Chains A and B, each alone.
Chain A
Amino acid sequence: MCWSIPGKIINIKGNIAEVEIGGARRNVRLDLIDAPAVGEYMLIHAGYAIQKVDEESAKFTLEFFEKCREEYKIKDKG
C-alpha cells in the first residue's frame, strides 16, 4: 500500500509521463494528477503518479534537519 518513490517528469505525452528515478526511467499514468509539468517531481506508485512532491514543503523537513545538525553532537553511535 505504500511503496512509492519520487521521480522527475522528463516528458509528457497525453496522459502518460516518462519519469526518471535515479538512473531508471519508466512510463507512468497521470490520471490522478492535476496539471503535471515537465521537471516536476511526482510520487510514483504502481505505475501511477499519486501526488506532486512539494519542493517548498520539503524545506520544512530540511530546516529541522539543519537545526539537528548544528545543535546536536553525536554522543554515541548506538
Chain B
Amino acid sequence: MNMEKISLSHGSGGKMMHALIEDIFFKHFGNDVLKEAGDSACLALGTKNIAFTTDSFVVKPIFFPGGDIGKLAVCGTVNDLAVSGAVPKFISAAFIIEEGFLLSELEVIAASMRKWSDISAVKIVTGDTKVVEKGEADGIFINTAGIGTFENEVRLGISSIKAGDKVIVSGTIGDHGIAVLSKRKGLEFESGIMSDCRPLNRMLHEALGVGGVRFMRDPTRGGLATTLNEIADKAGLGIVINEESIPLSDGVRGACEILGLDPLYIANEGKAVIIAEPSSVKELVLRLRENEYGKEAVVIGEVTKDIQGKVVLRTRLGTRRFIDMLTGEQLPRIC
C-alpha cells in the first residue's frame, strides 16, 4: 500500500525510512558526501579533515532506565562521530520544548547533558531554544550536531570491506529498545534492563589503535539486522552471522519472548558493529573487552562474497535463512 502521508514506519530505521530518505531528501539534496550516507560526513576543510554529524532525539518516555533524552542526545552524536573514526570535539544542542514542560525536568536533562559531555570530553558550544504551543511537540525534542577531527591516518569506509573480514559486536543487543519499551504505557514490564546509552569514543579510539578496522557503525534504530543489511547492501557483499554468537542478556531475552519481538531489530545506543580484517580480530576483541563498555565484545560472523548485499543467519540448528532489513515498525504481537 503506497502511503501519501508520513507514518511512524518512516521513522523506525527500516526500509520505509530508507526509501523516504532516497525518494525525497537525496533526490533534492543529493551530493557525493550526502550519498555516502555515513554516520558522519567526512569533509575536507582546507588542509584538515573533519567529521560532521547531526541527530534528533524524540524518545518517549524522556526518562528511562539507564538514561534520559539529554544523555541520549549527547552520546548519540558522540557515537556517530566516533564510529566514523573521528575524535569528537564539539556539539551543538537545539531544543524544541512544549509549553507546560516542567522546568525541573529541563534542569535534570541539562545537567545530564553536561555530565555526559564531560565524560565524552566534548564541549557543547552552541545551541538554540524554541518553545511551541501545548500539543505541538511531545514534551521536548532535542537536536544535536557534532564536529570531530581525524587525528591519524585512519580511513574507514565501506569500500574497504573485503570478503573474509570478521564482524564484531561490542556487547549485548536490544538493551536500549527494551529499556524504553518497558516503561511505555500499556506494555509495562520489569526486566532489570537499563539502556546501554553511553559514549563509545574512548573504547573505539582504543580499538582503532590496534589497526585492521575497516568500518564501524552503531546499530541504533532498526537494530543490528538493519545495520548489517545497510553495510552488506552498500558493500555489495554478504554477511553471515551465527545465531549462537549473538550476545543477549536474560532480561532482553525474556522481554522479547513475552512480547514476540526479535532482538535483532531492537535499538541499541551504546554498541558498535566493527568490521575488521581477520588477523587483527583477536587483539581487537581483547582491547574492546578491556574497556568497561566492551566487556561482552564478540565475533558474531564474517563477510562473504558468496551472496551479495544480503545478510544470512546461521541458526542454532545449522540451517540458514536471510535476515532482512526492518520493514516498518516492530510491534508487540499476539500471533
A5-B258, A77-B318 given; A23·B250 CB < 8 A: yes
- Find chain A residues with CB under 8 A from B189 CB: 24-27
The majority secondary structure among interface residues of chain B is: loop
Q: Is B330 engaged at the interface, CB distance under 8 Å to the other chain?
A: no
A3-B334, A45-B334, A46-B334 given; A24·B258 CB < 8 A: yes
- Find chain B residues with CB under 8 A from A21 CB: 254, 257-258
Q: How far is the CA of A26 from the CA of B189 in the complex (A)?
A: 5
Please give the distance in Å from A11's CB to the nearest CB on chain B.
12
Q: How far is the CA of A15 from the CA of B64 in the complex (A)?
A: 28
- Find chain A residues with CB under 8 A from B249 CB: 23
A5-B257, A77-B318 given; A23·B333 CB < 8 A: no
Interface residues of A in 18-34 (CB under 8 A from B): 20-27
Q: How far is the CA of A24 from the CA of B257 in the complex (A)?
A: 9
Size class of the contact patch on chain B: 20 to 34
A1-B335, A46-B334, A78-B318 given; A24·B260 CB < 8 A: no
Q: How far is the CA of A54 from the CA of B272 in the complex (A)?
A: 43
A22 and B257 form a contact (CB under 8 A): yes
Minimum CB distance partner of A6 in chain B: B257
Minimum CB distance partner of A76 in chain B: B318
- Find chain A residues with CB under 8 A from B253 CB: 22-24
Size class of the contact patch on chain A: 10 to 19
Minimum CB distance partner of B190 in chain A: A25
Please give the distance in Å from A63's CB to the nearest CB on chain B.
22
Q: Chain B, 241-274, contact with A by CB distance < 8 Å: what is the 0/1 string?
A: 0000000011111110110100000000000000
Please give the distance in Å from A46's CB to the nearest CB on chain B.
5
A2-B335, A46-B334 given; A26·B318 CB < 8 A: no
Q: Is B192 engaged at the interface, CB distance under 8 Å to the other chain?
A: yes
Minimum CB distance partner of B189 in chain A: A26
- Find chain B residues with CB under 8 A from A1 CB: 334-335
A22 and B335 form a contact (CB under 8 A): no
Q: How far is the CA of A25 from the CA of B250 in the complex (A)?
A: 11
Q: Which residue from A3, A22, A46 sits with its C-beta under 8 Å from B254?
A: A22
- Find chain A residues with CB under 8 A from B318 CB: 77-78
- Find chain A residues with CB under 8 A from B190 CB: 24-26
Interface residues of B in 182-213 (CB under 8 A from A): 182, 188-193
A26 and B258 form a contact (CB under 8 A): yes
Q: How far is the CA of A5 from the CA of B250 in the complex (A)?
A: 15
A44 and B250 form a contact (CB under 8 A): no
Minimum CB distance partner of A77 in chain B: B318
Q: How far is the CA of A5 from the CA of B252 in the complex (A)?
A: 14
Q: Which residue from B191, B257, B319 sits with its C-beta under 8 Å from A25?
A: B191
Minimum CB distance partner of B334 in chain A: A46
A23 and B258 form a contact (CB under 8 A): no
Besides A1-B335, A23-B250, A25-B190, 4 more A-B contacts (Cβ < 8 Å) are A24-B253, A24-B255, A24-B257, A78-B319
Nearest 10 CB-CB pairs, A to B? A22-B254, A23-B250, A24-B254, A23-B251, A26-B189, A25-B190, A24-B191, A24-B255, A21-B254, A3-B260
19 A-B pairs whose Cβ atoms sit less than 8 Å apart in the complex: A1-B334, A3-B260, A20-B254, A21-B254, A21-B257, A22-B250, A22-B253, A22-B254, A23-B191, A23-B193, A23-B249, A23-B250, A23-B252, A23-B255, A24-B191, A24-B255, A45-B334, A46-B334, A78-B319
Interface set of A (CB-CB < 8 Å, partner B): 1-3, 5, 7, 20-27, 44-46, 77-78
